[in-house]
Amino acid sequence: MTDFDRNYSMTIDGKSVSAKGQIDVINPATGEVFAQAPDCSREQLDDAVASARLAFKAWKLRPIEERADLLAKAGDVILQHSAELARLFTKEQGRPTEGAAAEIMMSGQWLKMVSQMRPPVHISEDSDAQFIETRYVPLGVVCAIAPWNFPVNLAIWKVAPALLAGNTMVLKPSPFTPLCTLKIGELLQDILPPGVLNVISGGDELGPWMTSHPGFAKISFTGSTETGKKVMESAARDLKALTLELGGNDAAIVLPDVDVDEVAQKIFFGAFANTSQICVATKRLYVHESVYDALRDRLVAIAKATKVGDGSEQGTVLGPIQNKRQFDRVMNLLDDARANNLTLIEGADIPDTKGYFVPVTIVDNPPEGSRVVQEEAFGPVLPMLKFSDIDDVIDRANDSEYGLAGAVWSKNTDEAMKIARKMETGTVWINQNLNLRPDTPFGGHKASGFGVENGMEGLLEFMAPQAVYVAKH
Ligand code: NAD
C-alpha cells in the first residue's frame, strides 16, 4: 500500500486486484516506460459493476452525514499521502513537482469541501389537505471516465459529488495516467465500504466497454469532443444519464486600457500553465492593436525566461506534452503553421532528449481561418491576433464550435462585464483566469459539453428529483 513505485492494482469490491494483461506507462519527460498498470478484462469490469450495484443498496440509504464524514476522511487520506502522490504524478503526467503537489492537495481539499454540500428539499404545499415535497435521490452506479491533463482533480470532481449524493462508482483514468488514481483507489479501501468506489484501468477498448455496459445509470465523462460524441451515442442505447465535459478553444480579449506589464504574467500562465494542456487555457489571444506589440514582446520575454524540462528537476516551470499522440498533434499543427509561412516566435530552449518537449510558441497575428486559430492545440502554441473593433472581435471570439470559457482584460470592469454577457461560454473571467471552485457550476456551451460539474447544479446531476404527495385525512 505504501509502495508508490511499483505494484499498481485496481480496486474492485474493496480489494486490490491485478489483471492478466498490463498496459505500459511512459514518463513523458524521458519517453521511457517506467511502470505498468493492470489491463482490466471484460469479466473484471462486470465484477466492478456488480459490486457497485450491490453496494448502492446500502450506500444510498446511509444518512448523508455519514457519507459526508467518510468523504472528508478520504480527503484527509489523500492529503496525508500528497508528497508520494505528487512524485508519482510528475513521473506519469510530466507536470513539475510544485504543480503536481497543487493538484493532489486541491483534490483532497475538494473532497472535504464538497462533503459539506447538501441537496435541497422543496415543499410545494403543506396544508390541511396534503403535503408535497420534492427531494433528490441518487441514480445508481456512475461510470466515471477521466482524461490525462488533470487526472486526479477531474476524477475527484466526479467522485466527491456522486458518492455524497448516494451513488456508487466505477472510475477509469486515462491509459496515459492511470497510476495516481489507482493508488488513491487503494488508499481509500480502508475508508469506503467495498464496492462504493471501484477503480479500474485498461487500454483503448475499456472506455467503450464501460459506456455500453447496461449496469450503469449515468456516465460522467471528461475528455475530447470527438470522444464525447461517441460516448453520447453509446449512452443513448439504454438512455443513461449523461454529463460531458469536452474540449475548448477559449478566447481572451485584451482591451486597449490594460497595463501590459501588470497583465502579461497572468495572461502567459493562463495560456501556458500545464504546458497548455488545460481545457480552459487561453487558446486564442485577441489583443487591441494599440497594445499588441507591447504585449507580444512582454509574452516573448517571459517565454524566453521560463524553463521547460523534466518536471522532477529543480527550477522547471513547464513540463513535456503528456503523451506521444498529443505531441504528434501539436507538431502537426506547427508543421501546418510553417507550411503556411506563419510567424512563429519560440521561447526558451527545450531539452535535447526523447521526451515529448515542445517549445513555448507564440504565433504572431495569423489569419483567423488558419488551423492554429481554429483548432484546439492542447499544447504550448498560442495564436495572438490583432483587433481594432470590439463588436468584430466578440464575433470572432464566438465564431467557434466550442463554448467552454473566455476572458476579458480591461481596467474598466463595467465595459468588461458588457463583453462577458455577449460571450457564448460557460465561464467568463475578467482580469483573471483558470479560477474554478467546488461551489460554482462549471460546464461548456455548444460542442464543449452537456451538463455541468461543481456547484449545486453539479451535485444534482448525480441525482433525480422525487416528488412525494401525502394526503392528510
Ligand atoms: P480523450 O477523449 O482522448 O480521452 C478521455 C478519456 O476517454 C480517456 O480516459 C480515454 O481512455 C477515454 N476514451 C477514449 N475513447 C473512448 C470511447 N470511445 N468511449 C469511452 N471512453 C473513451 O481525451 P484526452 O485526450 O484524454 O483529453 C484531452 C481533451 O479533454 C481535450 O479536448 C480537453 O479540452 C478535454 N478536457 C475537457 C475538460 C472539461 O472539463 N471540459 C477538462 C479536461 C480536458
Domain residue spans of the chain: 10-246+448-471, 251-437
Give yes or no for residue 258 CB within 6 A of ligand 1. Answer: no
Q: Which pLDDT score is estimated for 2? A: 46
CA distance 216 to 80: 32
Which ligand 1 atom minimizes the distance to the CA of 172? Answer: 9
Buried b (16+ CB within 10 A) or exposed e, 455-471: bbebbbbbbeeeeeeee
C-alpha 172/C-alpha 178 separation (Å) is 8
Cα(170)–Cα(430) distance, rounded to whole angstroms?
A: 37
Catalytic residue of the set 103, 186, 245, 461:
245
Q: What is the pLDDT of residues 304-316, one digit of tens each?
A: 999 999 999 999 9
Ligand 1 pocket residue status of 243, Cβ below 6 Å: no
Structure-block grid coordinates of residue 433? 483566469
- How far is it, in rounded angstroms, from Cα 175 to Cα 25? 8
**Ligand 1 atom showing the smallest separation from residue 453 Cα:** 40
CA distance 121 to 137: 11
Query: Is residue 233 among the annotated active site residues?
Result: no
CA distance 38 to 359: 33
Helices 64-80, 179-187: axis angle to 10 degrees equals: 120
- Taking the centre of ligand 1 as the mean of its atom positions, its distance from the CA of residue 407, in whole angstroms, is 24
Q: Are 284 and 249 in contact (CB under 8 A)?
A: yes
Q: Is-same-fold flag (10-246+448-471; 251-437)?
A: no
Q: How far is the CA of 459 from the centre of ligand 1 (A)?
A: 21
CB 342 within 8 A of CB 363: yes
pLDDT at 3: 57
Give, for ligand 1, the residue of 40, 149, 212 to mutate: max count of ligand atoms closer than 8 Å to Cβ.
149
Low-confidence ranges of the chain (pLDDT < 70): 1-5
Residue 57 neighbours by CB under 8 Å, 6+ apart: none
* Cα–ligand 1 centroid distance for 227 (angstroms): 6
Question: Can you give the pTM of this predicted structure?
Answer: 0.97
Question: Cβ(420) to ligand 1 under 6 A?
Answer: no
For residue 208 and ligand 1, the question of a CB distance below 6 A is answered with yes
Does the domain at residues 251-437 carry the CATH identifier 3.40.309.10?
yes
Average pLDDT, rounded, for the chain: 97
Per-residue pLDDT, 6: 72
pLDDT at 7: 84
What b/e sequence results for 230-255 when a residue is b if at least 16 CB atoms lie within 10 Å of its CB, and e otherwise? ebbebbeeeebbbbbbbbbbbbbbbb
Best mutation site among 224, 324, 437, 453 for ligand 1, i.e. most ligand atoms within 8 A of its Cβ?
Answer: 224
Q: Which fold has domain 10-246+448-471?
A: Aldehyde Dehydrogenase; Chain A, domain 1 (3.40.605)
Tell me if residue 289 falls in helix, strand or coil. Answer: helix
